Amino acid sequence: MAGVAFKNITKVFGKDVRAVDNLNLDIRDKEFMVLVGPSGCGKTTALRMVAGLEEATDGDILIGDVRVNDVPPKDRDIAMVFQNYALYPHMNVYDNIAFGLRLRELKGFFWQLAHLSDAKRIKQDIDTRVREVARMLDIEKYLLRRPKELSGGQRQRVALARAIVRKPKVFLMDEPLSNLDAKLRVQTRAELIRLHRQLGITTIYVTHDQVEAMTMGQRMAIMRDGLLQQCDEPEKVYRYPANRFVASFIGSPPMNFLPGKIGAEGGAAFVDVGEFKIPVPADNPAAKMAGSDVILGIRPEDIYDAELQGHIAPTPQNTICAKVDVLEPLGHEYVAYLGAGQHSLIATISNETKMKEGQEARFIVDLDRIHLFDVTTENAIR
């Protein structure tokens, strides 16, 4: 069992930089957890505390059931992969991968005495493991090359191999793909997921890229200014963001936010944004908040061209009119920039649309997928 737990973890740098603020997070054994959030939100600091490279100001860090605050990094049985992984430039790929194992198994010095029978067995064992991992990561062909003779993506795989070969209890990865070009990033992303399935090692993966977080994480923890905002499965976070920050951070193009007021007519509640009214589901607490100011959130992908046959039929309640300012073709769809009175909206529209820039058009809003936020706390109302 090697889950990782942050219990009331706070890290203060200097007098007043609260890099991580009372973080409580349980990462399960074998789980792939993604820590995501904008630059400076405390992701790296949180990871470094697990590694033991940074001391917590307050709180407990557990690996398995053991409190590790006072355990030195080398005894925590973790492996870390950084954005700027440093390979040993004078060693070939094989030795780069084997180095940590030799250090651990043979305590460095005894490596020189490898002719001793015990050392020979260990050497063979290391050889088997290095080759196994190299095969897994498809770098067998390069075992005798130096790092400078490899592409960025190949080097990245060597760095991963070096971490994996040790079979640690926990993997810590800090933006390990950010130096790769877009195509290689997608490919290595898939490789990492496959590796995780194969090895089943608890992994904490840090990124500021919401797509990476959505596609890789079994669960994702979203941070902002040192504070945990929400932790859940990607689909749940997408569908039920806890607050306006999470709602705007997850999803692309970002959710539309429209200031409005709750009203009620004949027992049915709606949110009035001036230009149009959107019904509020009866089971939403906002339905009983007539007169309150709220923020209405609608994702671009929940807005449809009303002239196209879709899975939602147009009704007076779900249809809005807006002027199409700009239509951006993406191939499989258009990103439409709309104006509705004082509001600007973004919608992603099927490429079968006949609408034209500069024209008025009718749009359907998926009423099951609207979001409402409190104007003061910005927390979701539901």
Binding residues for Mg ion, rule: CB under 5 A, are 44
Cβ closer to Mg ion: 84 or 350? 84
Neighbouring residues of 27: CB distance < 8 A, sequence distance ≥ 6: 3, 4, 5, 33, 202, 204
Terminal-residue alpha carbon distance, the chain = 36
| Separation CA 337–CA 361 (nearest Å) | 12
Single out the segment in contact with ligand ATP by CB under 6 A; choices: 11-19, 91-99, 209-217, 254-262.
11-19
Q: Fill in the DSSP letter of residue 291.
A: T
Cβ closer to ligand ATP: 122 or 237? 237
Query: Contact 308/323 with Cβ under 8 angstroms?
Result: no
Q: What residue 376 binds from ligand ATP, Mg ion, none (CB within 5 to 8 A, per partner kind)? A: none
| Residue from the set 7, 28, 208, 277 that interacts with ligand ATP by CB under 6 A | 208
Q: What angle do CA 338, 344, 347 make, to 5 degrees?
A: 45
Q: What residue 18 binds from Mg ion, ligand ATP, none (CB within 5 to 8 A, per partner kind)? A: none
Question: Nearest distance from residue 225's CB to ligand ATP, in Å?
Answer: 8
| Separation CA 44–CA 208 (nearest Å) | 11
Q: What residue 208 binds from Mg ion, ligand ATP, none (CB within 5 to 8 A, per partner kind)? A: ligand ATP
Cβ closer to ligand ATP: 11 or 129? 11
Question: Nearest distance from residue 224's CB to Mg ion, in Å?
Answer: 14
- Enter the tokens of residue 57: 């100001």
By CB under 6 A, the count of residues binding ligand ATP is 13
| Residue from the set 1, 17, 144, 282 that interacts with ligand ATP by CB under 6 A | 17
DSSP string, 198-259: HH--EEEEEES-HHHHHHH-SEEEEEETTEEEEEE-HHHHHHS-SBHHHHHHSSSSPPEEEE
Classify residue 264 by burial, with Cβ atoms within 10 Å: 0-12, 13-18, 19+.
middle
Single out the segment in contact with ligand ATP by CB under 6 A; choices: 13-21, 86-94, 210-218, 322-330.
13-21
Residues of span 36-65 touching ligand ATP by CB under 6 A? 37, 39-45
Cβ closer to ligand ATP: 145 or 208? 208
Give the binding site for ligand ATP (CB under 6 A): 13-14, 17, 19, 37, 39-45, 208
